Chain A
Amino acid sequence: MDTHTFSRLVELTSYSVLLVAVAVVAQRNLATSIRLLRLEGFLLAMVSAVIGLYTGESHLFWVAAITFVIKGLAIPSFFFHVMHRIGLPHDAERSLTVPLGLMLASGLTLVAYHVGRPLALASPWITRDVLASSLGTAFIGLSLMIVCRKALTQMLGFLLMEDGIFLFGITETYGMPLLVELGIFFDLIVAAGVTGILLLRMGGDFGHVDVDRLSDLRG
């Protein structure tokens, strides 16, 4: 694979990752959001594999495979399972309307470009233009965590943020040591698992998953 094709391919995928993150913001439907998250996982696996092909580092294929299984398959199915178990409503409550959320997302991407520009210029890699879109994805995830009221949608925001950071990491380093990657994956599984179990308990004990109402005293 020649350098030009490689950088364009990685950049193309990274913009798709950003686009999917924006689509999650535009989506009030929980199930569709989880499906978009799954798509995000597939795209990230693809990026890892492409970088692996270009650099010839075999452990990146392992990363791609693990990303595919964990982010693309395991976590979304787990969320679907949780959703059905506690019978969540289809609509995800947000404190912002969709157009406002999208404006916020666009604004954050603009910030990401301006923050990322000096970094990108200093970067030795040819995929440096991906930096801004990966930062943008992370920012959008962070904003989702803030504006969402339900635990499950907050978790969605967290995962998006993690996706952005993963994209940042893999395109800026062309692969961290496998051990580091494994550690991150383990972290992710624990986070998703803890949220899922928390959700199940909340749904079972209180009949809702609204974190704002957790601060209400029960007596």
Chain B
Amino acid sequence: MPIPQPFLDELQAVVIRALGAGATVSPSGPGRARVGPAAGGYSVLVPELVAIGGRLGALVATDRRGLGEGLLLEALILFDTAGALVEVSEPFPGPGATLRSITARVPAAHWQEREVAEMFGLELVLHPDAGRRLLHEHTPPGDHPLLRDRDAAQRLEFAAASPPAFRQVRGEGVHEIPVGPIHAGIIEPGHFRFFVLGERILHLDIRLGYQHKGTEKLFEGKPLGLGVHLAERISGDTTFGHALAYCQAVESLCKVSIPARAVWLRALALELERLANHVGDLGALCGDIGYAFGASHFSRLRGEFLNKSELVSGNRYLRGLCCLGGVRFDLEDAMARELERWLPRVRVDFEEVADIALEADSVAARFEGVGTLSPRAVRDLGIVGPAARASGVALDVRADFKCEPYRDLGFSPVLEPSGDVMSRARVRFREAQASLEMMVRLLASMPRGATRAPLSTPAPFAMGIGHVEGWRGEILTCAMAGPDGQLWRVRTRDPSVQNWLGLAQAVEMNLVSDFPLCNKSFNLSYSGSDL
């Protein structure tokens, strides 16, 4: 879809106001526009773009010193109502240069700015909370893993360091509860520091990074095809979403057009993943409040969706289905018939369980009015996915960016107004319903033909972008290839990176004993945000 001309004109005006007369906006692909590298292209222009309705998507830094340049920081700004993606960039001479933070004006940049500064050795100034995010205090000061001259095989040294400084909340009766990074359940590691007054949470500091695996560094130098497998492992519950975002990024780099049947099959798998996770989340929400009926029946239903994922792809988590240029396995007619027979049945079953569970008085008493996130916080922090839609903010890549096949199937995003745990539960319930409906339509309108297109050689150092509405929210993946045709840099922004701060906001002034429930209602990935 081309960007509408009036919108481009408005954009041009803002860019000239921010950067001076020389700066221009040029279309760089379907739905994409870019502003050339310029001083202030990040620190001055991004707040202006956000002020006219832009949303900070991903920050992508690249080390171009080998190409005779310095470091380049690109920001992807999304205009959801116009369905446009604008790339802006600012060059830096090299590690040690000063990066002026925009977090004070664009809180959505909070975590990604710190990440960029740590990984590329930029000095972050004017940031309200410049503490370590991924590489904790014990990382040696000069070690910046994503600089290209740092060997991927070299392990991170462990230097003795002072314990992390947390924000201090003082006052009579304020009590501090440290939780994690090792938890009682089988969940990922993260440290939560609560400052509570009695049972009420005054402030929550979330510290992640315990699962930093160097995923972005691992992508470097890999063949394009191998990158799919790595992308599938970014966050285990979003296997297909991440694989699809990566494939889209590489495909846009290679300018391949995907056969319609493959597009349809990918959407089918994406909805199947959404169903399994949304239904699983509903069960987990019930489990957290000790509501055994909901917990057991939703997990039973989740099993059904996982089994059908196995039917479609041979793997319960849809591993290995997505591949560059399309999908690896076609959906046989017999399977399609089985799915068509199964869908109405499971829908009745699911709606019956959800009707009982979400209408139960004792459940409503726990879900309603708890962990409320305001629409303003959603916009400021750049919250995405069901968490944003539960606060009444219509953000859904499937609808906003008119992507195939949703454009043709009449998809509209599910919204709930109140922003509390009940809203997030109801968004999941209704999105699961919508996904079931989508699957029926996808099966009915499934085009015939090939399921895979051959790949051409990628243009070196160009940026391909993958943009997918995963079950947890918008996944942005940027891929660049080197002159040898191998991956040169891959950056993935999991929705969790944005939403963790939303969780910290939502639990403020709630009861400590309601935190696990709020946490589950967001259900964020640690692995995806730690990369």
Contact = CB atoms under 8 A, between A and B. Distances in A.
Q: Which of B361, B364, B365, B368 has the most CB of A within 10 A?
A: B361
B365 to A, nearest CB: 6
B361 A89 contact: no
Interface in B216-264: none
Interface in A71-114: 89-91
Contacts of B365: 28-29, 90-91
Nearest to B368: A90
A31 interface: yes
Query: Interface on chain A toward B: helix, strand, loop, or mixed SS?
Result: mixed
Given A29-B364, A32-B361, A90-B364, 7 more contacts: A28-B365, A31-B361, A89-B368, A90-B361, A90-B365, A90-B368, A91-B368
Nearest to A90: B364
A31 B296 CA distance: 25
7 contacts: A29-B361, A29-B365, A90-B361, A90-B364, A90-B365, A90-B368, A91-B365
Nearest 7 pairs between A and B by C-beta?
A: A90-B364, A29-B361, A31-B361, A32-B361, A90-B361, A29-B365, A90-B368
A11 to B, nearest CB: 31
Contacts of B361: 29, 31-32, 90
Interface in B286-333: none
Nearest to A35: B361
Interface in A135-156: none
Contacts of A89: 368
Q: Which of A29, A89, A90, A91 has the most CB of B within 10 A?
A: A90
Interface of A: 28-29, 31-32, 89-91
Interface string B336-369: 0000000000000000000000000100110010
Contacts of A29: 361, 364-365
B71 to A, nearest CB: 53
A69 B361 CA distance: 25
Interface in B252-289: none
Contacts of A31: 361
Nearest to A30: B361
Nearest to A33: B361
A128 B361 CA distance: 38
Interface string B374-395: 0000000000000000000000
A34 to B, nearest CB: 11
Contacts of A90: 361, 364-365, 368
Contacts of B368: 89-91
A91 B369 CA distance: 11
Interface string B31-55: 0000000000000000000000000
Nearest to B367: A90
A161 B219 CA distance: 73
Nearest to A29: B361
B382 to A, nearest CB: 31
A105 B361 CA distance: 24
A191 to B, nearest CB: 26
Nearest to A31: B361
Interface in B103-136: none
Contacts of B364: 29, 90
Nearest to A32: B361
A28 B368 CA distance: 13
A50 B70 CA distance: 94
Contacts of A28: 365
A29 B362 CA distance: 9
A90 B363 CA distance: 10
A89 B365 CA distance: 10
Nearest to A28: B365
A27 to B, nearest CB: 9
A90 B365 CA distance: 8
Interface string B154-179: 00000000000000000000000000
Nearest to B364: A90
A89 B364 CA distance: 10
Contacts of A32: 361
A29 B364 CA distance: 9
A32 B364 CA distance: 12
A89 B367 CA distance: 12
A209 B361 CA distance: 20
A35 to B, nearest CB: 9
A159 to B, nearest CB: 20
B291 to A, nearest CB: 15
A29 B360 CA distance: 11
A158 to B, nearest CB: 22
A32 B365 CA distance: 11
A31 B364 CA distance: 11
A176 B364 CA distance: 44
Interface string B467-504: 00000000000000000000000000000000000000
A91 B368 CA distance: 9
A200 to B, nearest CB: 21
A29 B366 CA distance: 12
